[in-house]
Chain A
Amino acid sequence: MATDPWLPVAHRVRRRRVETKDSATLVLAPVADRLPVFRPGQFAMLYAHGIGEVPISISDIPAGGVLVHTIRAVGAVSRALHSAEPGAVLGVRGPFGTAWDVDRAEGGDLLLVAGGIGLAPLRPALRHALEHRSSYRRVTLVVGARTPSDLLYDDELRHWDSLADVDVVVTVDHAADGWTGRVGVVTEPLASIPLDATRTTAMLCGPEPMMRYCARTLLGRGVPDEGVQVSLERNMQCGTGVCGHCQLGPLLLCRDGPVVDLPVATPLMLVKEL
């Protein structure tokens, strides 16, 4: 087991699945040493040799030290990672950061709200809930995307939607030909889905404004703010709370986040350029 958080551990790309025009999911297997087991919501620093390192949330946690990450190509490093083919070797450090508190939701309703690539960090939480289905009452997944072709995990979305004990709501900002699902932003279904507000734990992941608006909608429906968790992003670099690049007010998000309770996150999200 690799224990030095500063030392990238070699992982080989076992599979690559194209999700959307700019996103792909990599299945990484350890070449030798394994990293400690990740929890839903945590992230790894993925290193593309000779290019650089970026934080990427874990998007599935299979057994055997295998890691699954969904990567959106937005810059030099993430483009290199996104285009890594099976057989390529990447460096991985982690796990880092806080996790979705799935235990706190036990005995109550679990509501997961994802916007865009935000479904990736929430997928392990949903899978955990499905594996421990009897520990939760209603489980609801609300997913928003720009267009139908921007939806991640389309086959899994259909599978989850087919399950009798999960409510899945998918909505897109812009419809395309043949799209028969919802059109609108994620806040709209949140305003009307069945909700036992005081017994709901909500986990929000997506662009920060989306999470703010979703949180307001949920608070307006009576969900207590301590029942809402959000995943915040800043410029994570060291992953160990040392370098300070990811500071957000009193938090170092690589250590104190990315998952933060709403009462902590709200005042920070309202400060411009923080």
Chain B
Amino acid sequence: MTSAPMTELDGLPLLAGLSHDQRAALAGIARHEDYEPGARLFEEGRLADRCWVVTAGCAVVDTDIPGRGRTVVQSVGPGELLGWSWLVPPYRWHFGASIAAPTSAVVVDALDLRRLADADPVLGYRMSRILVEALLNRLQATRIRLLDLYRHPDGD
């Protein structure tokens, strides 16, 4: 585990809406982490205290279904944000997550992020915009998946 270098944050399209100084402030509370396949990031019901921006590799969000075991519901790849439950009380993970392939990520502790946003409302506002945009993209992608577009059609 090392602190996240500025170049790593500068290379994230997700953070393009932040100024250099704001990314530097974020870098001050972020760290770089590497994970091996199978590493468990969090468990359903546990305290949601971190978020990840995957920079390489792949993490998966999953849940346990009786009779089916652990079932993957979503992949999170390079440039994407993993972990939302730290945003709102009761700060508990709704799903679990693990690593599917050798993965690198920028990791931020939720408490540090909330403190940073409280101390600098302009940065907090911009961070909120970034999070809302990412959430909206995830919501819309989930809706598209609900359409089951590739299902077998009915006839010629």
Contact = CB atoms under 8 A, between A and B. Distances in A.
B108 interface: no
A219 interface: no
Interface stretch (A57-65, A120-128, A154-162, A173-181): A173-181
A241 interface: no
Interface in B28-67: 58, 60
B77 interface: yes
Contacts of B144: 185, 187, 209-210, 213
User: Per DSSP, are chain A's interface residues mostly helix, strand or loop, or mixed?
Assistant: mixed
Interface string B113-156: 00000000000000000000000011011001101111111111
Contact of A116 (B72, B78, B141, B149): B149
Given A182-B58, A185-B145, A187-B141, A175 B71 contact: yes
B73 A22 contact: no
Given A150-B150, A180-B100, A192 B155 contact: no
A78 B153 CA distance: 12
Given A74-B155, A150-B150, A213-B140, A183 B79 contact: no
A185 B141 contact: yes
Interface residues of A, number: 37
A75 B153 CA distance: 9
A175 B79 contact: no
Nearest to A54: B156
Contacts of B71: 175
B156 A78 contact: yes
Contact of A145 (B79, B150, B156): B150
B56 to A, nearest CB: 12
Nearest to B14: A192
B78 A188 contact: no
User: Per DSSP, are chain B's interface residues mostly helix, strand or loop, or mixed?
Assistant: mixed
A188 B155 contact: no
A207 B79 contact: no
B89 interface: no
A182 B77 contact: yes
The CB with the most chain A CB atoms within 10 A, among B14, B74, B77, B101, is that of B77
Contacts of B154: 74-75
A46 to B, nearest CB: 11
Contacts of A179: 72
Interface string B7-37: 0000001100000000000000000000000
B85 interface: no
Interface in A45-77: 52, 54, 74-77
A146 interface: yes
A92 to B, nearest CB: 17
A70 to B, nearest CB: 14
Interface of B: 13-14, 58, 60, 71-75, 77-80, 100-101, 137-138, 140-141, 144-145, 147-156
Interface of A: 22, 52, 54, 74-78, 115-117, 144-146, 150, 169, 171, 173, 175, 179-185, 187-189, 191-193, 206-207, 209-210, 213
12 contacts: A145-B150, A175-B72, A182-B58, A182-B77, A183-B75, A184-B74, A184-B141, A187-B144, A188-B77, A188-B138, A209-B147, A213-B140
3 closest A-B pairs (Cβ-Cβ)?
Answer: A75-B156, A192-B79, A116-B150
